[in-house]
Structure 1
Amino acid sequence: MPGPSSGTVRNRRLATELRRLRERAELTGDDVAERLGWSASKVSRIENARQAPRLGDVRSLLELYGVDGTYREQLLQLARDAVRKGWWEAYSDALPEPYASYIGLEMEAEEIRQWETQVVPGLLQTEAYASAVEQWLHSIEMVPPSRVEARVETRLARQSVLTREAPLRLSIVLDEATLLRRYASTDVMREQLEHLLELAELPNVTLQVLRLDGPHPIATGSFTLLQFPQVGGIKFHDVTYIEHLNGCSYVEEETETYRHRLSFERLSAEALDPAESMELISRTARDAWG
């Protein structure tokens, strides 16, 4: 069973803190590079989390910025943790880099709020449904069957976050269309909706449906808002993850992530409550796929 730890979030937290410390010291990236005998591109890669810095490099930066005491030790521990590999590294040949990065964020999140308009979210998919979705999504790509299988395995392994010792808190609002859009046979679709009913019984999962014939308050596509706990006394900001045809994008600016939080709250307020949503899912499983 996959463990919850990952270097991804720690590396991003470390990068954010190092950039903040440089700015507080009123130094530019070029200033740091010149004083430490590095290239400016190295400073940029560290501050943008494109590489996990070596422990010695972090020590040099903290000395330059005049950081000591408990805060220094916290940052050094982040640096040690940032180089840890996640379980999904075993699937690296089959996973696009942005997707692998997302898994790292998901594994460390304490809460996820997701609005989905196209497909049942990966954390709630059955194996048969996930396989069908992967085949449809990659019908426009030259993806070998072995890679499709690896991506399905990865998707199923991700679901351990819902049942681990400190489970992820997951709140999802589904557009009703996701219950009706056919990706597989009738049996697979019915099984998927029945699986939703089972997962909705978990105390850490809240599932709601926004009716097609009801109010649609936010004109936006699917998005996932991830929230993180403190690690080593250092808080990491929210991240919004958005998928699109050519890949994905991350929104990290506080105003924009807060906008997505408010959007989710509005969608949740207009959606059916969890009990009514379960009734609709059960009825759809019977009437549309029964």
Structure 2
Amino acid sequence: MPSGASAPYASTARVRRSTGLSDRGSPTVRRRRLGQELRRLRERAALTGDQVAAQLGWSAAKVSRIETAKTSPRKADVEALLEAYEVDSGQRQELLDLHRDAAKKGWWEDYQSSLPHEYTTLLGLEVEATYARNWEPQVVPGLLQTEEYALEIVKAVQPITRFAQGGVRSRVEARMARQQIILQDDQPLNLMVVLDESVLLRGFGDATVMRAQLDRLLSLSELPNIRIQVLPLDADHPVNTGSFLHLKFPEFHDVVYLESLFGARFVEEEETVYGYEIAFDRLQAEALDVDASRDQIRKTIERWK
């Protein structure tokens, strides 16, 4: 096991994952797919959300929440919509099966009471993603953090964002459990990361914490599904933007996750997502290659001794 991967958290994650959908299936993605399909069917039927709501005795907001996956519809709700859209029996059963999978619970939903909604949504999306492209100019990405480094990150932000003190441990635990998607033997997430060199120099915790964190970056960079590059401080900086995480899916449109101090949001509009894809390509092109990045990380470890 790579250094910093806490055994208790890893074990917990495997247990929780075994109770969810198999084959990387995620109820979070299923809910979004179901909502999109229901919207497509409504538009095919030439109905507005207000018209459907009036026909079913619902509010227009309920129709919108179902289509945007802001709420999990009951089976009866889905059946009512399919009836209103005059969907044939074959497609009806496919969508009801999709609803059944969407109603299942992922391990990350155990943390809904202590984590921001957008973050638990991200955890659910990552489970089904096949590729992730992450630019990080400030801290080591959560998927690569040691438990000790993660604890220092969470403790640093807690007095500012003022979430409950008891939530510190939950956030660290969720972050460690999240990492199983890059460590699992079966279809691990392919992760490409570009780090600004300042990330290696900015201390969280003492020198021991930082050495262990940088050692872990080296260890993880040897995995076939992980590519880590460093953008040197003296290199041209092609993109003046904060961190972003671009997720790619086999049967779902790409999503970009943007996190700020007091919240986060998802970008799903196709042209904007493509812009982030181009931005990451530029960052990769300007960054050191994988071997040179490892050398840079090793040199920085020496500075933390």
Q: TM-score range, shorter-chain basis?
A: over 0.9
Aligned pair 1:220/2:241, yes or no? yes
Task: State the match for 1:259 in structure 2.
Answer: 275
Cα-to-partner distance string for 1:139-188 (whole Å, 9 max, x where unaligned): 21334443101110110000000122111111111111111111110011
Aligned pair 1:102/2:87, yes or no? no
Query: What amino acid does structure 2 have at the position aligned with 1:154?
Result: A
Cα-to-partner distance string for 1:175-229 (whole Å, 9 max, x where unaligned): 1111111111001101100000000111111111111101111111110011112
Task: State the match for 2:106 in structure 1.
Answer: 86
Task: Tell me, in whole angstroms, the C-alpha distance in 1 between the residues paired with 2:262 and 2:142.
Answer: 19
Task: State the match for 1:43 in structure 2.
Answer: 63
Q: 1:71 to 1:266 in 2, by over 3 A?
A: farther
Task: Tell me, in whole angstroms, the C-alpha distance in 2 between the residues paired with 1:259 and 1:141.
Answer: 30
Task: State the match for 2:20 in structure 1.
Answer: none
Structure 2-normalised TM-score? 0.89
Query: What amino acid does structure 1 have at the position aligned with 2:205?
Result: A
Identity %: 53
Query: What amino acid does structure 2 have at the position aligned with 1:116?
Result: E
Cα-to-partner distance string for 1:2-24 (whole Å, 9 max, x where unaligned): 42443211111111111122112
CA contact (8 A) 1:115 1:224 kept: yes
Task: Tell me, in whole angstroms, the C-alpha distance in 1 between the residues paired with 2:270 and 2:161.
Answer: 35
Residue 275 of structure 1, aligned match among 291, 296, 299: 291
Aligned pair 1:242/2:258, yes or no? yes
Task: Tell me, in whole angstroms, the C-alpha distance in 1 between the residues paired with 2:177 and 2:298.
Answer: 26
CA contact (8 A) 1:5 1:86 kept: no
Structure 1-normalised TM-score? 0.93
Structure 1 runs not aligned, ≥5 long: 231-235
Shift of 1:283: 1.0
Task: Tell me, in whole angstroms, the C-alpha distance in 2 between the residues paired with 1:269 and 1:256.
Answer: 20
Q: Secondary structure at the match of 1:152?
A: helix
Task: Tell me, in whole angstroms, the C-alpha distance in 1 between the residues paired with 2:72 and 2:274.
Answer: 28
CA contact (8 A) 2:182 2:188 kept: yes
Task: Tell me, in whole angstroms, the C-alpha distance in 1 between the residues paired with 2:90 and 2:188.
Answer: 29
Q: What CA RMSD, in Å, does the superposition of the two structures yield over aligned residues?
A: 1.5
Shift of 1:92: 2.5
Task: State the match for 1:233 in structure 2.
Answer: none
Q: Secondary structure at the match of 1:208?
A: strand
Task: Tell me, in whole angstroms, the C-alpha distance in 2 between the residues paired with 1:268 and 1:98.
Answer: 27
CA contact (8 A) 1:210 1:270 kept: yes
CA contact (8 A) 1:167 1:204 kept: yes
Task: Tell me, in whole angstroms, the C-alpha distance in 1 between the residues paired with 2:91 and 2:300.
Answer: 54
Residue 206 of structure 1, aligned match among 224, 227, 233: 227
Shift of 1:43: 0.8
Structure 2 runs not aligned, ≥5 long: 1-13, 18-23
Task: Tell me, in whole angstroms, the C-alpha distance in 2 between the residues paired with 1:205 and 1:93.
Answer: 31
CA contact (8 A) 1:242 1:249 kept: yes
CA contact (8 A) 2:192 2:228 kept: yes
